[in-house]
Structure 1
Amino acid sequence: MIITRIEGWRAWMWASWLVAAMLSLAFLDLTVYGVAVPASALLLAVLTGRVAWRRGIVDKLDLAVVAALYITIVALFRLAFTVFTAANVLGLFLCFGAGLVLGVAVPVFYTVKRGRPLSDLGLGLRNWKQAVVLGLILASIQFAITLFGYSLPAPVGWVPLLVMSLTVGAFETVFFRGFVQQRLGASFGEAPGIAIAAGLYAAYHVGYGMASEGMVFLFGLGVLYAVAFALVRNVLVLWPLLTPLGSFYNNLRNGDIELPWEAILGFADVLGLMAAAVWLGRRRLLRKNAQLDMNPLGPRLQK
């Protein structure tokens, strides 16, 4: 594991901070939230001794792959939502779907290629119980603040949106938390990795055609997600509940996305391709382990 899991009293402090940061969504202005959450996280990191800039261990290949993939995904999303738009549904979905699949498949196969376990991406059973418990607590708070008592439209107005939110949430969790955050943290240190990954998460929304005003809030939200992932190193803390719920509520409230029932099949295909990439990556790791069993002197990969 490239960054050790926070343990003991620090874990309780950070878990408490996560709960407080989630609860503050109920009363803080979104721009204020985007400033207050990172500032409080930095203060707590200083108090708990978690701020350290790692020197002399920069993996240039990691950074190059992160940068190239990030630019490719943002460009595909930008092409989908600002060039093709809803006037060309096929072009929009092909570009959008391609970006989502690449954001999971490339990190999986790159991780395997570098001889790293998929648990580096947060995929697997590592700390899964802690991840599920923490994820349920945070998601329950978010549901109480946003969706509890919310009047849903007709099923066609929210079911396809929910499937889309699950798909996008899977992409964002693996790409931004498991890949970008982990790779940046490995080169620069945990706190800088979280801050830069949160900034990249906020900025990537330009691909959706979002104006800069909302990105301050998204930076704060990105820090919250990043800290939650750093605490347990498992995607289950964020997906399938926390991040999809937030996206689902935001899409419902804005009301600017209308999807037909057929969209469910498209997003299900994208989820299927993501799952297939993870399965194939795991198979490749198992084959490598089997080969290493024949050579006991070689380093063994983790599953």
Structure 2
Amino acid sequence: MDANAVSHWRTWAWITWLVAAMLLLAFLDLTVHAVVVSSTALVLAAVSGPAGWRRQKFDKLDLTVVAVLYVAVVVLFRVAFTVFTATNVLGLFLCFGTGLTLGVAGPVFYTVRRGRHLSDLGLWLGNWKQAVGLGLVLAAIQFAVTLLGYPLPTPVDWVPLLVMSLTVGAFETIFFRGFVQTRLSASLGQVPGVGAAATLYAVYHVGYGMGGEGMVFLFGLGVIYAVAYALTRNFLVLWPLLTPLGSFFNNLNGGEIELPWESILGFADVLGLMAASVWLGHRMLRRSARRRAVAGQRAQRP
């Protein structure tokens, strides 16, 4: 079997695993689901061969920046939800919004600073058809398992939650998949990188004040998201459908978060700041490329 055939087999094996993992949400206890998902993923990774365990280069600076940004985001969220709480809405939102924005702007500007393209963060359209196709399949399964037939409350009780879910989903996709997972996979190998990123994704929910049982399920869910992203390396596989749908259902079903209509403007502002940081990072890369091109032309002159 040639290399292309092997790669094709691995891709379809992981896609089949992803579909099965999402479908099992309808049948298994959440903790059991996490155990089944993580163990079967490890077995499939072992069967797929040594490619997933190879690392590129151990980069201390990458790992340091990942650790610093991760701690900063978790601390900001923790302060927002356990110090300010809903009794101080302004303080809560400012800390929460700062953490969300930092989780996107920090990776963008660090990536630019290292001379890497934003495709390193999944922010590109090179294979958008594959990413959107896989994202639609997984999101359709998640919708059928969670939201199909779910009785929605009055719009004020769910529309702001949906906007919040879109904002948080954008942050999680870029920060945890595009940045944390990519950088860990480069230094540790793809399989260890996926496992470490899924662990950090689960643990970061301590910032929301979540307990250990919920984190076990989120580890399994983090493995699913990480594998989907690893197959496409494109943020469109997870956002704006898959991760926001999961967050939206969790917030809606939990019934613990109440947001006024005005919160939509706040989350729209955060989304705008995220988009602005990506746009600015893209401009900085183009400007740097032009400077290098001019310098190269000057060097070639007699």
Same fold (TM over 0.5): yes
Task: Tell me the residue number matched to 2:99.
Answer: 99
Q: Say whether 1:27 aligns with 2:27.
A: yes
Task: Tell me the residue number matched to 2:210.
Answer: 210
Task: Tell me the residue number matched to 2:198.
Answer: 198
Distance 1:56 1:180, change over 3 A: closer
User: In the aligned structure 2, how far is the partner of 1:123 from the partner of 1:238?
Assistant: 12
What are the residue-to-residue correspondences of 1:135-150 with 2, within 5 Å? 135-150=135-150
Q: Residue 61 of structure 1: SS of its match in structure 2?
A: helix
User: In the aligned structure 2, how far is the partner of 1:109 from the partner of 1:55?
Assistant: 24
Q: Does the CA contact (< 8 Å) of 2:56 and 2:186 recur in 1?
A: no
Q: CA RMSD in A?
A: 1.4
Q: Which runs of 5+ in 1 are unaligned?
A: 1-5, 299-303
User: In the aligned structure 2, how far is the partner of 1:126 from the partner of 1:177?
Assistant: 17
Kindly provide the CA deviation profile for residues 184-228 of structure 1, in whole angstroms up to 9, marking residues without a partner as x: 000000000000000000000000000111111000000000000
Q: Residue 58 of structure 2: SS of its match in structure 1?
A: coil
Q: Say whether 1:153 aligns with 2:147.
A: no
Task: Tell me the residue number matched to 1:133.
Answer: 133
User: In the aligned structure 1, how far is the partner of 2:56 from the partner of 2:251?
Assistant: 43
Identical residues among aligned pairs (%):
71
Task: Tell me the residue number matched to 2:224.
Answer: 224
The aligned amino acid for 1:204 is Y
What are the residue-to-residue correspondences of 1:240-251 with 2, within 5 Å? 240-251=240-251
Q: Does the CA contact (< 8 Å) of 2:55 and 2:190 recur in 1?
A: no
Q: Does the CA contact (< 8 Å) of 1:22 and 1:142 recur in 2?
A: yes
Report which stretch shifted further, 130-139 or 32-41: 32-41
**Higher Cα Rg, which structure:** 2
Alpha-carbon shift at residue 51 of structure 1 (Å): 6.1
Alpha-carbon shift at residue 49 of structure 1 (Å): 1.0
Q: Does the CA contact (< 8 Å) of 1:50 and 1:191 recur in 2?
A: no
Alpha-carbon shift at residue 295 of structure 1 (Å): 3.1
Task: Tell me the residue number matched to 2:10.
Answer: 10
Task: Tell me the residue number matched to 1:81.
Answer: 81
Distance 1:40 1:8, change over 3 A: same
Q: Which runs of 5+ in 2 are unaligned?
A: 1-5
Q: Does the CA contact (< 8 Å) of 2:56 and 2:189 recur in 1?
A: no
User: In the aligned structure 2, how far is the partner of 1:127 from the partner of 1:53?
Assistant: 24
Kindly provide the CA deviation profile for residues 220-260 of structure 1, in whole angstroms up to 9, marking residues without a partner as x: 00000000000000000000000000000000100000000
Q: Does the CA contact (< 8 Å) of 2:55 and 2:185 recur in 1?
A: no
Alpha-carbon shift at residue 126 of structure 1 (Å): 2.2
Distance 1:18 1:190, change over 3 A: same
Q: Does the CA contact (< 8 Å) of 1:50 and 1:190 recur in 2?
A: no
Alpha-carbon shift at residue 58 of structure 1 (Å): 1.1
Q: Residue 153 of structure 1: SS of its match in structure 2?
A: coil
Q: Say whether 1:282 aligns with 2:282.
A: yes
Q: Does the CA contact (< 8 Å) of 2:78 and 2:208 recur in 1?
A: yes
Structure holding more helix per residue = 2
Distance 1:282 1:55, change over 3 A: closer
User: In the aligned structure 1, how far is the partner of 2:117 from the partner of 2:287?
Assistant: 13
Task: Tell me the residue number matched to 2:3.
Answer: none
Alpha-carbon shift at residue 147 of structure 1 (Å): 0.5
Q: Does the CA contact (< 8 Å) of 1:164 and 1:267 recur in 2?
A: yes
TM-score by length of 2: 0.95
Report which stretch shifted further, 269-278 or 47-56: 47-56
Q: Residue 296 of structure 2: SS of its match in structure 1?
A: coil
Distance 1:16 1:202, change over 3 A: same
Q: Does the CA contact (< 8 Å) of 2:173 and 2:235 recur in 1?
A: yes
Q: Does the CA contact (< 8 Å) of 2:55 and 2:186 recur in 1?
A: no
Q: How many correspondences in the alignment?
A: 293
User: In the aligned structure 1, how far is the partner of 2:55 from the partner of 2:282?
Assistant: 32
Q: Does the CA contact (< 8 Å) of 2:81 and 2:209 recur in 1?
A: yes
User: In the aligned structure 2, how far is the partner of 1:77 from the partner of 1:197?
Assistant: 18
Q: Does the CA contact (< 8 Å) of 1:198 and 1:223 recur in 2?
A: yes
Kindly provide the CA deviation profile for residues 47-96 of structure 1, in whole angstroms up to 9, marking residues without a partner as x: 11156544682100000000000000000000000000000000000000
User: In the aligned structure 2, how far is the partner of 1:262 from the partner of 1:84?
Assistant: 19
Task: Tell me the residue number matched to 1:3.
Answer: none
Task: Tell me the residue number matched to 2:235.
Answer: 235
TM-score by length of 1: 0.94
User: In the aligned structure 2, how far is the partner of 1:184 from the partner of 1:16?
Assistant: 25
The aligned amino acid for 2:148 is F
Q: Does the CA contact (< 8 Å) of 2:169 and 2:243 recur in 1?
A: yes
Task: Tell me the residue number matched to 1:70.
Answer: 70
Q: Does the CA contact (< 8 Å) of 1:185 and 1:191 recur in 2?
A: yes
Q: Does the CA contact (< 8 Å) of 1:160 and 1:259 recur in 2?
A: yes
